[in-house]
Structure 1
Amino acid sequence: MKNLLLFASGNGTNAENIIRYFHLKKTARVVAVFTNNPKAGVIKRATALQVPVEVVSREDFRNPDILIGKIEKWHPDLLVLAGFLWKIPSELILRYPQRIINIHPALLPRFGGKGMYGSHVHEAVLAAGERKSGITIHYVNEKYDDGQIIFQAETEIAPEETPETLAQKIHQLEYNHFPQVVEYVLEGNLSKN
């Protein structure tokens, strides 16, 4: 059985979805959730599903020896960012090459980069007059939202779309695809496409 370590900063719906998916599959398991936010909703969600949670301080996150030590005790096969807002340190990327993946709520390479998360992304997509948006699952490298794309899924943007309604469509794509793409990556496939 393979080990997944999740990183999340917010409500944790994607993390919960991944935990539940692999609980049923029995091919991998989420061994822990790391969060940088001691008030994050993901803490309650993971705890309810009996997955250990570790709150990582900014100081520990910036210290490669401490951070890698905290991660290594879980023996992860893959690190999955599920709404994690801090930039991953280069030492961690070097330690886990092609073993850290992220989900972004837009069709990269557009609408990515520092500060482009959550409603900021949806507002930018609508302001640009796009006809489609979607999700991108990608490997993490040293730049925000710049790693090799693993998978993308699209949704149409309606003329009356708002950031809130677009967010609902994007969340549905995340729930439908993220766990399966994690599984494909664990199995050694580069892409679900």
Structure 2
Amino acid sequence: MGIKRIAIFASGSGTNAENIFTYFAENEQVDIDSLWSNKADAFALERARKFGVETFVFNRDKFYGTDDIVDTLRKRKVDLIVLAGFLWLIPENLVRNFTIVNIHPALLPKYGGKGMYGMNVHKAVVANGEKESGISIHYVNESYDEGKMIFQASCPVLPDDTPDEVAQKVHQLEYEHFPKVIEKVLLGQ
């Protein structure tokens, strides 16, 4: 079994991406091939460069209107696409050609769908008086947050928790579980 290659897609600061870089840094079976972003100023790009990971920036036309990204990922022999805070809906040409996993900062199917990301999710969880939140790691299909579930982990939401406090708890779950689940998906464990 050759080396498995991951492409990470990120739109924001890239804390999950950096956690994945760190986790796989010494793994001889897995290579973080590249980081892709739809935002030229995403801090995730800086984090990737710090780890020597090649970066690509693309616009909406290239993402939705061409096969350029699919073709490039194929040439690079990417085995898995990981969405780490990537906010655009994935087009059919990518879904059809690659296995793609995403992490969502809530217990799906609650608090999923368009516009439900980051602090929007945590504010909704607190506003609705939920007793728990957590993470959902799932395969990606053509709809937001509706792909087959791979893994979930939960954390308590206390009555006086703020959205920021819920976010911290959820981030801890992301950092603990996301790289391990990616490894299992990639290596078939």
Q: TM-score range by the shorter chain?
A: over 0.9
Query: Counterpart amino acid of 1:156?
Result: P
1:100-139 matched pairs, under 5 angstroms? 100-139=100-139
How far the C-alpha of 1:91 sits from its partner, in A, is: 1.6
Query: Counterpart amino acid of 2:118?
Result: G
Query: Counterpart amino acid of 2:102?
Result: N
Question: Secondary structure in 2 aligned to 1:107?
Answer: coil
Gaps of 5+ in 2: none
Do residues 67 (structure 1) and 64 (structure 2) align?
A: no
After TM superposition, the score normalised by the length of structure 1 is 0.94
CA RMSD in angstroms comes to 0.9
How far the C-alpha of 1:30 sits from its partner, in A, is: 0.4
Contact in 1 for aligned 2:129/2:159 (Cα 8 Å): no
The sequence identity of aligned pairs, in percent, is 50
1:83-162 matched pairs, under 5 angstroms? 83-96=85-98, 99-162=99-162
| Counterpart in the other structure of 1:33 | 35
How far the C-alpha of 1:67 sits from its partner, in A, is: 2.1
| Counterpart in the other structure of 2:59 | 57
How far the C-alpha of 1:138 sits from its partner, in A, is: 0.0
Query: Counterpart amino acid of 2:15?
Result: T
Residues 141-193 of structure 1 show CA distances to partners (whole Å, capped at 9, x for unaligned) of: 1110000000001000111111111111111100000000000001224xxxx
Q: For 1:33 and 1:108, how far apart are their aligned partners in 2? A: 26
Q: For 1:162 and 1:73, how far apart are their aligned partners in 2? A: 46
Q: For 2:52 and 2:140, how far apart are their aligned partners in 1? A: 27
Contact in 2 for aligned 1:64/1:91 (Cα 8 Å): no
Query: Counterpart amino acid of 2:76?
Result: W
Number of residue pairs aligned between Structure 1 and Structure 2 = 187
Query: Counterpart amino acid of 2:168?
Result: Q
Residues 11-55 of structure 1 show CA distances to partners (whole Å, capped at 9, x for unaligned) of: 001001111111122220101000000000101100011001100
Residues 59-115 of structure 1 show CA distances to partners (whole Å, capped at 9, x for unaligned) of: 11012422211222221110000000010001211112xx10000000001100000
Contact in 2 for aligned 1:134/1:170 (Cα 8 Å): yes
| Counterpart in the other structure of 1:81 | 83
Contact in 2 for aligned 1:64/1:92 (Cα 8 Å): no
Gaps of 5+ in 1: none
Q: For 1:150 and 1:14, how far apart are their aligned partners in 2? A: 18
Contact in 2 for aligned 1:4/1:29 (Cα 8 Å): yes
